[in-house]
Each structure stands twice: as C-alpha cells, then as structure tokens.
Structure 1
Amino acid sequence: MTPVDIVRGDGPVVLGMPHTGTWLPQEIRSRLNANGQLLADTDWHIDKLYAGLLPKATIVRATFHRYAIDANRDPSGASLYPGQNTTGLVPMTDFDGEPLWQTPPGEAEIEARRLAFHAPYHAALTAEMERVRARHGVAVLYDCHSIRSRIPFLFEGRLRDFNIGTNNASTCAPEIEAAAQDTCANAEGYTSILNGRFKGGWTTRHYGRPSEGWHAIQMELAQSTHLSTETPPFAYDESKAARLRPVLQRALERIETLALTMGATR
C-alpha cells in the first residue's frame, strides 16, 4: 500500500484528504488496544462525499490512518491549539481522551513513521500545489475534514455543520474565505461558523501563503451531516449526503471560479 493516492486534475483547486485512510501496517495495528482498533476518529467517507463534485480538481489523499501518524499535524510535534485539548502528531488518546495503545510508540518510532507516511503525503501535496500554480498562477488547497458533532473532550455542546478555517483570515484571499462562508451561511437547514473551534490544521497553515499564490482553506464537517450514525459502523447516509453535496459543490465551484480569475490577473 502506498501512503498517498493522487488524482491529477487540470483545474486550480487541490482537495486535500489527510484523514480518510483506514490502512495500517499490521505491526502498528496490532499494538492498538480495543478502543484504538475501532479507528473511531477517521474522517469517515469524506472521499465518497466529495467524489465528482469538482471534476477538474486534483485530489491528494492519505491512505494511512491518522493513528499511525497525523498528516494534519506539525511534524515538529508543536500543538495546533495551545492550552486546549487536542491530539498530537501520533495521537496517544482518541478524541474522547481515552488511550489508544497497548504499547505506545517512542520517539524513534514516531520519527520513522514521519518519514514513512507524513513526509510522502506532504511531498505529494507540495508537488501538486506547485504544478497547479505553474499552470494557473494560483493554487487553492481545500482541505476536506469531518468530525463527530459532539465531543466534550474537544469542545462544548454541538458542533456547527460547516466549520470553515482560515487561521483567522491569514491562509487565503478574503474573496475565497467569503465565498465559502457565504455559501455555507445561506445553506438552508444548516449551521456554520468561520474560525471557530477549528481554525485550520497544520496543512492549512503551512500551505496558506496568499502572497505566493498559494491559498488554503479547511472545511470541517460535522459527521451528522452525512452519516447515519456517529458510532460504529459509521455508515454513510445516502439521503443526507444527497442534500449536502450540492452545498459543497456550490462552494467549490465558487472557489474555482475565483481562483481562475485571480490567476488570470497575476
């Protein structure tokens, strides 16, 4: 199994999918405890949810599970949200604060996993962003995520349906941020927030360099928007997805149109 799947498109948008993978080498999977074996913190079915929404988009998807190493965390191990509960480069607990490992990995093993999984994913993502920018003058990374709608360890109450992150408007042009925000805010029957609990992970912050023609935005969806249940078996709900997908498509198409316009003027 290769650590990353790439589908190349000729448009200006790159869809990043760091947390949809469920593959783990047996030597890693066997060291997870019963709780870890559930792989509960997967961004379930995000690849299926976005399939075909933006035909010209490039897709960069990690095939490995985030319990091996989290491709959306700073490779140095620095916290994304200092002072708040979160999970690390190799998570020791799940999103509920419960242990994952029978035998937790040490520093040497974490570094080996970084080289085997995290580095190839970001090498591929960097290469695609460079290719897209060379073609269009700009590249927009739209980082695709989902999470359970209620996780007391991470946040109070119920999460909004659409959680847009631009690290406080620093990772993309204001027009791109506004297009995503406006589309979600006007989606009937859904809730949304900009730079709330989730402001964009390491990927968004690292690749968001608007002055260089690299724009990045994170979309964190509450899993209640497209799963029939947020507990095992985390089943995909076709009717919920059919209602959600047009909203995501509108946001992506608006971002793509903006990117093409911006590229033409660079």
Structure 2
Amino acid sequence: MTIEVSRGDLPVILALPHTGTDLPDEVRAALSPVGLALADTDWHIDRLYDGLLPGATVVRTGTHRYAVDVNRPPDGESLYPGQNTTALCPLTDFDGRPLYRDGHQPDAAEIARRRDAFHAPYHAALSLELQRLRSKHGAVLLYDCHSIRSRIPYLFDGTLPDFNIGTADGQSCAPDIEQAALRIAQGATGYRTVLNGRFKGGWTTRHYGRPADGIHAIQMELAQSAYLTDEAAPWAYDTPKATHLRRWLGDILAALTETILELPR
C-alpha cells in the first residue's frame, strides 16, 4: 500500500484520497461480493486531472476507501450527523449494502490498526507538503479531488449537480478562492453547480482549511455522469465527455492558482 507524492513548486496541492483500488489481503478476504466490486471508487479522477496544472503537487493514496477512508476523521465522528454516510472503515457501500461477509466486520482493534497503517501516513504526507509550500509562498491551497455517482438515494435525493464545491460553509478558504471556483463552474457550458450543498467538504477540507494561517482548502465533488460512459461497471472513461470537462477543470485550477498567488501574505 503506497502513498504517492509528486512535488511541484506552485502553491497548490491536488489531493487524491479515493482513486486507489489496493486492498490488503486480509481485508479482501473479509469482503462480501458487494465489497469486492469496489463500486464507490472515485473512478478515473487521477486521469481526469492529469496534467491540468503543471507545477502542482499531487498527493495520492493507493489504498481503497473500503479498507480505510482517509477523508474521514480518525476518531470516526460523523461528518454529516443525522444523514446517511459512511464511516472511517465503512461497513456499507453508498447504497447501504453490507461490505463484509457475516462475522468478518473489523473490530475496534482492527480499525485502529488500519488508521495507523493507511490513514496516518496519507495525512503525514499532506501535512508535510502543506508546510513546505506555505513556507515557500506564504499561502497554499489544498484542492481535494472527488467524484461520485449522480444518483444515490441512500445518500441524497434526486440528481446531484455536476460541480459540487465544498468549503465547509465558507470556513475552509478565503472568500476570493470560493468565488473564483464558483464563477468558473457556474459559467461552464452544459453543467450544473452547487456551493456547499450535500457535500460541504470532507475531513481533509475541514481539518486543514485554516485561512487565517495561510492554508486554504476546497473540495470539488464531481458527478460521475459528467465524464463516465455509464455510472456502473466497468466504469468506462468517456473521452469526449471528459475532454470537455477537463477544459473547465483546467480553468478552475488556473483561476484558483492566480487567486492564491494574489492573496495578502
């Protein structure tokens, strides 16, 4: 299980917490057929963002979220109290179906082991890069890259917009950063956008986003219908759709980079 870091010099980090499909052998052996399908992967997000912002730092974990979700609080606290969601070591998929075979769910000791083995190293790498770039530039932006199926009744009603921007209700970044992303996304031809709707930013956005300390964080949750042929296995990358979407994502990243460089130090 690996943490991949590609270092750049721009004050921007692209975080990829949910593109990995690696599972430890003992986790794989415990999963049900539902779990083994890995349906809740952020399919092809690494490919979608590849090369869009040369000079950005990229931090990625290869470990699948069914082993441990690095975008959840390490203490297991719910990010969305009162709403259906998944845990640090999820027991169900996004449709509420069991991920484990009967009697094989992780206990407290196993959850702690996975947190130490996979969650902690990812955040150690993120923290190191954030401090490196903040020291160099005075301010840094963490852009958390995500995607999800556009229709999941267990998690939300109706159809999700294409661009779901999360800033913890404006607390995780400067207003200029939030507005730069929103302006481009709202102007993107053929797409729908929401700010701090169903997805307000996961633990990564909420934990690291400290604008007063020069660390700004924003989550972009994309509807997979915007770039996949079909939101079901085999989760095929639709090149024409993705190419159109990449144009707008590139504009968003360019605008965010310009904005972070212009913020008062």
* Residue matched to 1:189: 190
- Structure 2: stretches of 5+ with no match in the other structure: none
Cα displacement string for residues 21-40 of structure 1 (whole angstroms, at most 9, x for unaligned residues): 00011111111100100000
* Residue matched to 1:9: 8
**What percentage of aligned pairs have identical amino acids?**
61
* Residue matched to 2:242: 241
4+ residue stretches of structure 1 with deviation over 2 A?
Answer: none
Give the Å deviation of 1:134: 0.7
Alignment of 1:193-232 (within 5 A): 193-232=194-233
* Residue matched to 2:251: 250
* Residue matched to 1:33: 32
So what's the TM-score if we normalise by structure 2? 0.98
| C-alpha distance in structure 1 between counterparts of 2:254 and 2:230, whole Å | 29
SS of residue in 2 equivalent to 1:220 = strand
SS of residue in 1 equivalent to 2:13 = strand
| C-alpha distance in structure 1 between counterparts of 2:168 and 2:260, whole Å | 19
SS of residue in 1 equivalent to 2:30 = coil
| C-alpha distance in structure 1 between counterparts of 2:72 and 2:150, whole Å | 21
| C-alpha distance in structure 1 between counterparts of 2:238 and 2:136, whole Å | 37
Give the Å deviation of 1:229: 1.1
Cα displacement string for residues 33-82 of structure 1 (whole angstroms, at most 9, x for unaligned residues): 00100000000000000000000100000110000000000000000000
SS of residue in 2 equivalent to 1:240 = helix
| C-alpha distance in structure 2 between counterparts of 1:227 and 1:29, whole Å | 26
Pair 1:115-2:116 in alignment: yes
SS of residue in 1 equivalent to 2:85 = coil
* Residue matched to 2:99: 100
Aligned residues: 263
- Structure 1: stretches of 5+ with no match in the other structure: none
| C-alpha distance in structure 1 between counterparts of 2:26 and 2:82, whole Å | 33
The one-letter code of the counterpart of 2:225 is S
- C-alpha RMSD over aligned residues: 0.6
* Residue matched to 2:149: 148
* Residue matched to 2:174: 173
* Residue matched to 2:59: 60
The one-letter code of the counterpart of 2:195 is L
| C-alpha distance in structure 1 between counterparts of 2:221 and 2:18, whole Å | 11
So what's the TM-score if we normalise by structure 1? 0.98
Cα displacement string for residues 228-249 of structure 1 (whole angstroms, at most 9, x for unaligned residues): 1111111111111100001000
Cα displacement string for residues 144-176 of structure 1 (whole angstroms, at most 9, x for unaligned residues): 000000000000010000000001000000000
